[in-house]
Amino acid sequence: MTDRLPSPVTIEEVAAAAGVSRSTVSRVVNGATSVSPSALEAVSKAISDLHYVPNRAARSLASRQTLAIALVVPEETTRFFGDPFFAAIVSGINARIARSDYVLNLFIANSDPGDKMTSYLSRGNVDGAIIVSHHTSDTFIDRIADAVPVVYGGRPVKLRDDDYYVDVDNVRGGREATEYLIGRGHRRIATITGPQTMPAAMDRLTGWREALAAAGLTPGAVENGNFTDEGGAEAMRRILASGERPDAVFAASDLMARGALHALAAAGLRVPEDVALIGFDDSPIATSVSPALTTMRQPSFLQGEEMASMLIDRLAGIAIPNSRIMPTGLVVRESA
């Protein structure tokens, strides 16, 4: 192997420059409180003068932490990467991690149970893991969760005692989106759902049902759009083909709403005049289409940041609630 030079300046040199011992430098680097102001200042100066960056291998070896966090992404990356909602989640995670001493290790999860990734994680090569977007069928999850602290993006499929997650109130989001439609006078309301193997998709559907029931309305068509653009378009086509045309549609993601929009346009229907359409996410898609989408916002970037924060707190031994439910909010634009 070619030798890679590590950071040339060591803690020893910083200590010398600052006129203190290694330990004191270590203390300021690690934010220990018990350092005198003068020492703190001298060390800080030496650090920035010398551009000192701690060697993570040494640190990790001595402290018995890896300082690494795994970001586990499900195999079917097409859907994952195709949705700006996830881009925002990952950006948020990245942003929070960047402010910490941790680095993010990316793993694209292969459901193969003998998987190298699973054993890598199980062997304590990371301090914790963030798992985004999993399905009922993802079996490797449990093995990871047995080995290291995990924070989930979205309520996990089977909730266990020591599960931590960040989510929004999807039932409520679905309900309020639908209530808005009802309040605007719509009566034949269909929905395009996500895959019913995912809690978020199930919950939004539940919300839609609840709102209709509360208003005494008969539920319209329910079609699975699989959380994809094309799936949304197909679901919309099936809805239109199925008989009575709805006067409004609740799509459980903006991506699917976009697909639906195209299907509606292809069918010669105007939005919102003929069919009102409401999305979910308030991702960049919402404003990039025409008409701009009315949608239920969720704070994706913040959710990502919060996921990382929760994990970092847990690793630091700070007690935190098992879940963090972030607020949603209706954003009214043109489509409904």
Partner DNA sequence: TTGAAAGCGCTAACAG
Partner DNA sequence: CTGTTAGCGCTTTCAA
Using CB distances below 5 to 8 A depending on partner kind, what does residue 31 bind out of a second copy, DNA, none? Answer: none
Using CB distances below 5 to 8 A depending on partner kind, what does residue 277 bind out of DNA, a second copy, none? Answer: none
Q: In the set 17, 47, 54, 72, which binds DNA (CB under 7 A)?
A: 54
Q: Is 323 in the site for DNA (CB under 7 A)?
A: no
Using CB distances below 5 to 8 A depending on partner kind, what does residue 33 bind out of a second copy, DNA, none? Answer: DNA
Least separation, in Å, of the C-beta of 178 and a second copy?
A: 27
Using CB distances below 5 to 8 A depending on partner kind, what does residue 104 bind out of DNA, a second copy, none? Answer: a second copy
Q: Is 30 in the site for DNA (CB under 7 A)?
A: yes
Least separation, in Å, of the C-beta of 102 and DNA?
A: 13
Binders of DNA among residues 58 to 87 (CB under 7 A) are 58-59, 61-64
Q: Is 125 in the site for DNA (CB under 7 A)?
A: no
List interacting residues with a second copy (CB under 8 A).
Answer: 1-7, 51, 53, 55-58, 60-61, 63-66, 68, 71, 77-78, 80-84, 86-88, 90-91, 94-95, 98-99, 103-108, 110, 116-117, 119-120, 123-125, 127, 148-149, 229-230, 262, 265-266, 284, 288-289, 314-317
Apex CA 215: angle with CA 209 and CA 219, to 5°? 40
Least separation, in Å, of the C-beta of 26 and DNA?
A: 3
Q: Tokens 């809805």, residue?
A: 239
Angle, helices 84-98/300-315, rounded to nearest 10 degrees = 40
Residues near DNA, by CB under 7 A: 1, 6-7, 10-12, 19-27, 29-30, 33-36, 38-40, 52, 54-55, 58-59, 61-64
